[in-house]
Every structure is written in C-alpha cells, then in structure tokens.
Structure 1
Amino acid sequence: MDNEIHNFKRKVHAIPIPEDKLDTAITKTISTSRKKNRKLYYLIATAATLMIILFSSAFVSPVMAKILSQVPLIGSVLSYFDTGLEHASNEGFVTKIGETYVSQDIPVTITEVYYDDFRLVVGYTIPNVDDLGVFEALDTEVKLGIDNQTVTSMSSHSTLKGDQVIGTIETTATLPNSFALDVSFSEIFHTKGDWNFRIPVTKNTNTLAYEVGKTKEANNYKFEVFSIQLGPSGTKIHMELDMPLGDDTAYDFLVYNHYGNRLESIDYTKKIIPLLKFDKQVLKMNALFEPLQDNLITIVPVIDEKGTIIELEELAIEVDLSTIKGQEVSNKIMGFGLREDKVDKKTYFMDYMVEEVASEMGLQLGEYFKAELPIFNLDLAMDFQKEQEINNQTVVNPIVIIEKKSGEKGYVVYKTEDGVNHIFQVQLKDENWIIEDSFTLQGKMIGDLEMSYNKE
C-alpha cells in the first residue's frame, strides 16, 4: 500500500487525447415506417403550396427572387453535428420540416426536428446572403417556446458550410410527450426581425433503461455504474467515482463497444460533491455517447496527465445488456422545463456575468457579440475545456465576447461559486487565437444570484 496512488496510476497505459472530445463543448419528432405514405402525401402538398407562395413572391419582387434562389435544398443538418443525430436520421426517426420564413430580406429554413428522452433538437439553415465573415454570420438570437412558455436550458450551435449557415437549437429540458413548438429568431446577421415557426413535435419513445448497479474498487477509489439508457440518438450512462477528499485530478470516462471501438462522446453533465464526514468526494456524471450497436459495453475512468489520457484499468466495468431486462423510461421529474415569460437560470447567470464584467471594465456590450468556445482554434478551446474541468467550482461556463469592429480581439469569461469572474484577454494573430492576459474580478456570488433570480 506504499505510495498507492502513484503505483495505481503507473500501472495503466497511455493513449493520445481524442480530438472528438472537444465536440462535447461545440455545442432533435419522430416518423415511423407506418406513417411514410401519409407523410409523403403531406410533403408533396406542402411543397406544392410553398412553390406557389415562393413563385408569387418572386414575381412581385426581384429582390425576393434573388433571396429565395439562395434557400438551400433540404438536407440533413442534424446529421452534420454528431453521430447520434446522424444515426437517428439514417434510421428515419428525424422529421423533415422544410419550412422557410423571410424577414428583413433574410430567409430562414427549419430543416428538421428530432425529440427523444435525451434531447430535443431543431435544425436550420440561413443563406449567407452578404458573404459575411464567420463572426457576423454565426451571430443569431433565438428562443424556443411552448404555449407562450419559454423552454429553459436551451443552447444553439452553428457553423458556416459553403455559402450557408447551418445550425441546431437544442434543449435537454423535461418536456411533454407531444406539443406545438415555437421557434423564434429575433436577430440574424446583426439585423432585428421576426422569424417565427410553429412545429408539431412528438417524442420518440424507443428508449430502454437498464438498471446496472455494478461497482469496482481499487485502493481508495470506487467506480459505480448505476444505469444505461439506449435510444436512437445515443447511449446515456449514469455513473459515479468516489475518490479521496481534495483530489484535484481531472477525471473523465471512456466507453468501448464489444469490438473495442470507442464510442464518441456527445454531451455530459458532471458535479463533484465533497463528503467531509467520510473524508472523500464523489464525482457524479450523466454522459451521452453515440448509439450502442451491440449488447456489450465497457466503461473506463480516465485521467488527463499533461495531454495524455491514462485509463484506470482496475476500475473498468463491463456490462452485458443482454443479461438485463430493459424497461421503458419513466419520467419521475415533476413539472416540465418551462418558465412563463422568464429567462432560464443558465441564461440569467450568463447574462449577469457578462454585464457585470463589462461594467467593471468599461466595455460597451453593443460593440461585442457573444460566442462559444469552438469559435477558437482547437488547442485554445481545449485549454479552456481543461481549465473548466480542473476548476471544480465553475458554475457559469466560459462565454466568449468578440469585438464586432475588428473580429480579432475579445475576452473569455467564466464565474466560480465564490463570485469571482475569471477573465482572459484573447487576440487573433496569424489566424490563431492566443491568450494575451488573464485576471479576475470579484462579482456577485452564486448564492446571491440565485436569490435575485428567484425574486424575478
């Protein structure tokens, strides 16, 4: 037992960091074969109506004709963003929409929708009509709603693909099984407007939950897999890792199928809970990986040591799902992820943090736009991802604000529970973003923000 943790780590082997891990930061209604004939009829009727409307508009306005000529043919936007959505699309679970709305001479097309027990995702495209740069082209304001209630915990991801902006709007909030979804864009390309869509949505319920309850222990560490859920768009795993109190190692988890192929990580939430009474801390994690194509799965805790992933093989857990009876997923959460006429907590915290920093630094926020970490080059974005994992107190995730005028300088900001705003000044040089300076500013503590949010 001498120098246990050193010997423990030395026994495992190292493999390179997967670049696709970054996809988890960068930052989904269902059709079945029985509905294909009815759906085909509906699409033909819709397309005919749309053609009449579009040709009529084009005849009246030459400008509109030019704009509509740039509306793309409907493709699978969702498939572009992760393997889970690609699989769901290939299996016919994604609902094609193909609805276009024009405001301020800018057409927006909702391409498709997917909704299951893991997430709701909407795909969209916008022609880059003025050949804008990446920063301006990706600057959009959008929200989701159900019966005049705002969907909480929403995120939006977009990229330039050729002369099109393609993107997704996603939420993991708990929602009803079926509803009419409102998608509303309020600003595109720095232009205010109203792009409003109402889309019927029904959940894909082809998800099975498996109660696993397997544990592995080695030295002062215990790894437990509680449950695994299999759905068309992914494999969701609920797990925990017990470790000595004060361990600041950045832990993660890799998943392998029966053939030894690693499943791509799509998204995750994790939190470290200190248990002072037991002199330990617990890393709780819910992670979504690409869909599993067989019954065998192996989950391995890993650590990151200076750019090298080290697998903790003594803690690896193998699960044969063919030996466990899968159950339908039941929603035990009371209420839905909706809030009437009120911004969700995540957005409230983010906006407050950005405004707080801007006020302290004398920045005019109208001269900046918000973005996400993937706007940077891979290395810099990975650095901030590691920073976030190492700092267990991170509450408000990193937000990038880029100067609109130059598009070449800005700041990255995140807040920890003690209210400290961590600020990094970044600059674009030789087509690469670099950190030029970093500092902190004391702001409102998370507890006080919670109180302010609840009052509002």
Structure 2
Amino acid sequence: MTDKIPSFKEEIDNIHVPFDKLDAIISKTIHENHQRGKKSLRMKMVYSLSSVAVASILFVSSATVSPAMANIVSKIPIIGAVFSESGDPGLEKVHEQGLTNLIGDTKNTGGTSITLDEVFYDGTRFTIGFSIISENIIEKSYLSSGPEIKINGQAFSNASTYSETKISPTHRTGIINIDSLDDLPESFTLGVNFTSVDGKQWDYSTPVSMKTEVEYLTINHSQTVEDINLTVSDLEISAAGLRFNFNADTEKINYLTNGYLDFKVIDDKGNELISHSGGSQIQNVDGKEELTGSLLIDPITDNAKTLTVIPYINFHQGGTSVEVDLKGNETKTNIQPFNETDIEFKSFTVTLP
C-alpha cells in the first residue's frame, strides 16, 4: 500500500482549494489510513474540518479524482449538519445566519467517534448538537440518559432534554436543549461528558458566549380558569425562537404538578408555530401551588405582525418518570393516571414589535 501513497498525494495536491491547512489534513488522513491497513483494523474514519466550505469543496472535487479519494471524502462529517438538518426551524435559522459556534471536535474511543458539532446560546435557548459514528451498530440507549453538562467546571443540574436521530445503524445525531437558563453567565466554559452503557467516555470543553440579538416584549396578560390563575409576563424574541415566560398558581395542591402547561401559537398568516421544550418549577407557598417557567416556540416568519396564543393544560395519563442525579444514576417511578379534564384558557393576541 505504501507505493500508492505518493501518487495519491499528487491527486490531492492537484485539487485547487484556497485553504492552506488542507494539505496537512489530507496528509494526516493518508497516514491514519495506512496505519489502519497495517493493523487490519476495521475502523470508521471521522474527520473534523475547520470550515464547512472546505468540506463542500472536497465533495465537489472528489468526482474528478480516484475512488480512494472519494471513499475518504465520503466519511468526512460536515460541521454544522446537526443543526442544519435537525428539522427545528430555530436551529436551522441561527445556523444559516452564522450565529452558532461551529466546533467540530471529534474524539474516538474504542472504535466509536463522537463529534461535538455546534453550540448556540442566547436569551431564548441553549442548545448543543453532536454526532456519533461507530464500527458497530449503535443501540438506542447507548449513551444511557444523555451527557453530563458542566459550566466552568461545575456540574450543571438545570432542567434539560436530550434526543437522538438515527441516520443509519452506525450513525446517530443528537441534540441537547438546556431548558432552564437561570443562573447562566454571559460567557463560560462548557464541559460535555458522554458515557456509554459499556463504560466508554468522551470529554469535551469549549468556550461559549451569549448572543445578544434578542428583543424583549412585555405582555402581562392574566386570566383565571378552573381556579388556576395564569399570567404570561413577557416574550423574548430571537432568530432561535420565541420564549414565553409565565407563572400560575392554584389552591388545589398537587394539581399543577400532575399537568403540563403548553401554548398553541398561530401567527396572522395562519401558520402554527410548534411548541418545544421549556423549563419550569413548582413549589407550595402559603397554601398555594405555584408554577413558574417558560416555553420555547418556533421563530416567527419575517412578515408576521401578530400572534394568537391559546394556553392549555394537559393532565398526564400515567406512565413512568425518570430522574437522573448528577452522577448519572437513574430513578424510575411509575405514575398513576390523573383523572381530571384537560383545561384550555381563553386566547389572547400579542402584537409583535
């Protein structure tokens, strides 16, 4: 195989790419490919490029060079693909506008590579994208309940949601939404630790700074339905989405605890803006159950002038809840159905700035 390397390198050198680091990347690729052949290892190759543009040029150029080159290029992940292909309008929009932090940090442990792909943080949302490529089939629960998040080296226990998308049996992408943004500084060092069910670990660290392109709109709409007092205080507007902040209270203890407050939002063009996750907390104060939280909604279209908002509460139908402590230990609890009728509040209108 060694006698083929010089001619292969000449093919690469003939590609006219205006990035002076490309030769070093390709040379490293050839060396790793050569070493893998000596050891007869069937390892998936994952490469991180410092620019999406580089990857795009390589894909165009690969049609004019050898099949070996095309095979290597086909395994290069495009940085930012997790957000841009997520199906989430907010993430797609901030990626297109260049508001995200492109990271592309890849680490391989035991034949499985995880790439910390992209991060976005502003007043409306804090989202982390990653991808997994493995030699073997990736099971659905391979990363257990998700990664451990640290802020400036300290464990971060605020509410978050985690989801994966299956691209192929050996390739998955994942998105982590930090639903509660309380107590987060404007700039910090983000730590992300992944642990697989068989004990493998991948650790990442990257600086993160808040994007400031956020508008704030005071709403202060209040209404009472079924002894539940609801106030929607304000709205945060950014390219990433709409974050409604609210609070609710009732004298019915263990009532709000068994329901989920959500909003149906329709713009003046008739488009329904889909609701995503949000963070909330419930506490008992002076004989009342109080709920405080926020909800993330899809971003508005450019021409939208008003929003019609319909709050509602769905009570759970039973199931299983899973709580995860800071060490990753899971506690599962069976939940009995809550036999109450779902509640819909009256709609109200928000005029956008």
TM-score, normalised via structure 2 length: 0.64
The reply to whether residue 351 of structure 1 matches residue 329 of structure 2 is: yes
Among 180, 205, 210, the residue aligned to 2:212: 205
Q: Is the 8 A contact 1:146 1:181 kept in 2?
A: yes
Residues 138-195 of structure 1: CA distance to partner in whole angstroms, max 9, x if unpaired?
547633334433333355432321241111234344333233433333x3362524x3
The reply to whether residue 188 of structure 1 matches residue 196 of structure 2 is: yes
**What CA distance in whole angstroms lies between the structure 2 residues aligned with 1:273 and 1:147?**
29
- Structure 1 gaps of 5+ residues are 1-42, 308-344, 358-382, 391-456
**What CA distance in whole angstroms lies between the structure 1 residues aligned with 2:141 and 2:90?**
27
Residues 352-407 of structure 1: CA distance to partner in whole angstroms, max 9, x if unpaired?
736xx8xxxxxxxxxxxxxxxxxxxxxxxxx97x95897xxxxxxxxxxxxxxxxx
Query: CA 1:53–1:208 in 2, change beyond 3 Å: closer, same or farther?
Result: same
**What amino acid maps onto 1:54 in structure 2?**
T
**What CA distance in whole angstroms lies between the structure 2 residues aligned with 1:243 and 1:56?**
66
The reply to whether residue 57 of structure 1 matches residue 29 of structure 2 is: no
Q: Give 2:44's aligned residue.
A: 67
Task: Give the total of aligned pairs.
Answer: 279
**What amino acid maps onto 2:193 in structure 1?**
S
Among 130, 133, 155, the residue aligned to 2:136: 130
CA drift of 1:219 comes to: 8.0
**Per the alignment, in what secondary structure is the counterpart of residue 79 of structure 2?**
coil
**What amino acid maps onto 1:88 in structure 2?**
V
Q: Give 1:161's aligned residue.
A: 167
**What CA distance in whole angstroms lies between the structure 1 residues aligned with 2:20 and 2:210?**
24
Among 228, 239, 242, the residue aligned to 1:235: 242
Q: Give 1:143's aligned residue.
A: 148
**Per the alignment, in what secondary structure is the counterpart of residue 272 of structure 2?**
coil
**Per the alignment, in what secondary structure is the counterpart of residue 288 of structure 1?**
strand
Instruction: Map 1:23-172 to 2 at 5 A.
Output: 44=19, 49-62=24-37, 66-68=43-45, 70=75, 72-79=77-84, 80=86, 82-136=88-142, 138-139=143-144, 142-153=147-158, 155-162=161-168, 163-171=170-178, 172=180
Query: CA 1:142–1:82 in 2, change beyond 3 Å: closer, same or farther?
Result: same
Q: Give 1:265's aligned residue.
A: 275
CA drift of 1:264 comes to: 0.9
**Per the alignment, in what secondary structure is the counterpart of residue 276 of structure 2?**
strand
Among 291, 300, 304, the residue aligned to 2:299: 291
**What CA distance in whole angstroms lies between the structure 1 residues aligned with 2:313 and 2:305?**
26
Which structure: greater helix fraction?
1
Q: Is the 8 A contact 2:124 2:242 kept in 1?
A: no
**What CA distance in whole angstroms lies between the structure 2 residues aligned with 1:205 and 1:46?**
32
TM-score, normalised via structure 1 length: 0.51
Residues 264-309 of structure 1: CA distance to partner in whole angstroms, max 9, x if unpaired?
11112344555666xx6554342111112334222222244899xx
CA drift of 1:44 comes to: 4.3
Identical residues among aligned pairs (%): 21
**What CA distance in whole angstroms lies between the structure 2 residues aligned with 1:165 and 1:74?**
14
CA drift of 1:223 comes to: 3.5
Q: Give 1:255's aligned residue.
A: 265
Query: CA 1:64–1:285 in 2, change beyond 3 Å: closer, same or farther?
Result: same
**What amino acid maps onto 1:58 in structure 2?**
N
**What CA distance in whole angstroms lies between the structure 1 residues aligned with 2:339 and 2:102?**
37
CA drift of 1:78 comes to: 2.5
Query: CA 1:180–1:53 in 2, change beyond 3 Å: closer, same or farther?
Result: farther
Q: Cα RMSD (Å) of the superposition?
A: 3.9
Could you say which structure has the greater relative contact order, defined with CA pairs below 8 angstroms and 6 or more residues apart?
Answer: 1
Query: CA 1:127–1:226 in 2, change beyond 3 Å: closer, same or farther?
Result: same
**Per the alignment, in what secondary structure is the counterpart of residue 137 of structure 2?**
coil
**What amino acid maps onto 2:79 in structure 1?**
I
**Per the alignment, in what secondary structure is the counterpart of residue 32 of structure 2?**
helix
**What CA distance in whole angstroms lies between the structure 1 residues aligned with 2:308 and 2:213?**
23
Query: CA 1:102–1:46 in 2, change beyond 3 Å: closer, same or farther?
Result: farther
Query: CA 1:301–1:150 in 2, change beyond 3 Å: closer, same or farther?
Result: closer
